[in-house]
Amino acid sequence: MRTIVTTAGRPDDLSITLAQKACDELGISFEPRKKRSVSKISETLDANVIMAGKNRYEYYPKGATAPFFFHPNSAAFRLKRIDRGEGDPFLHATELVRGDSILDCTLGMGSDAIVAAFAVGTEGEVVGLEVNHNVAFIVKHGMKNYDTSELPLTECMRQIKVVQREALDYLKELPDSSFDVVYMDPMFEEIIVESNNFEALRDAGSHQQLTAKWVQEALRVARKRVVVKAHFRSRIFEEYGFTRDVRLTAKFHYGVIEKNG
């Protein structure tokens, strides 16, 4: 399905500039708002819609109940807890240290990538893959331009390299041992009721299933370990040989395969 770009209901110069930027980067056409709702434009043109607002983009997949837009989400308070010396399950599983490199195969909202950037520091490298062109555009723009005075949150967001690619195809092109850690968080097989803030991402994002080939390529590319995150009921841990980090009160678990394990 095609995607078009429009502006907010009352566009100013900035929103018009942002709309043109989206058209240029994504190679898609502009549709004037003409006092129509976004849902009406989407229905009339049978298209997904990216709306350029006054200070951000919003993505409306056709038929979605809510727009997808970038927000650092849980990363902000996770960084504050880490800075206080509290543990973070993602960092416990990945064992990232300053100077490490990590490939996040399923970037999504980017919360884990932001935490990873904090752990590896400016000496390290964080690359995040997103298969959906529109989601990748929204997140890439948000990472670079989200308005916050919070440090180190801003620095961490700016450090992440967002790449619009399908994970397995990208992995196949990489040399052996290219990244210290390869991380995968496919869309949950089961919906977690408490995660209402991810509903828009579920509508907008691609629901990828982990495969044996994906795990095989991840292991080839990783120097240290491959880490997966999945619903606690998921069988992918056992199916693909991940050692599960059981968290009794959590709805999701992490699984690890050590490269030399």
Domain check: are 36 and 82 in the same one?
no
Domain check: are 218 and 97 in the same one?
yes
pLDDT tens column, 160-179: 999 999 999 999 999 999 99
Residue-range definition of the domain harbouring residue 40: 3-60
User: CATH number, domain at 55?
Assistant: 3.40.50.10480
Contact 55, 32 (CB under 8 A): no
Q: Which of 18, 34, 60 is the last residue of a domain?
A: 60
pLDDT tens column, 195-245: 444 455 555 545 578 999 999 999 999 999 999 999 888 899 999 999 998
CA distance 124 to 146: 22
pLDDT at 78 over 90: yes
Q: Which of 60, 85, 102 is the last residue of a domain?
A: 60
- Quick check: pTM over 0.85? yes
CA distance 110 to 71: 9
236 within a domain of the structure (yes/no): yes
CA distance 126 to 128: 7
Written as six digits, the tokens of 180 are 């210290």
Q: Give me the chain's average pLDDT, please.
A: 89
Domain check: are 38 and 85 in the same one?
no
pLDDT tens column, 24-74: 999 999 999 999 999 999 999 999 999 999 889 999 999 887 899 998 878
CA distance 257 to 215: 10
Domain check: are 221 and 191 in the same one?
yes
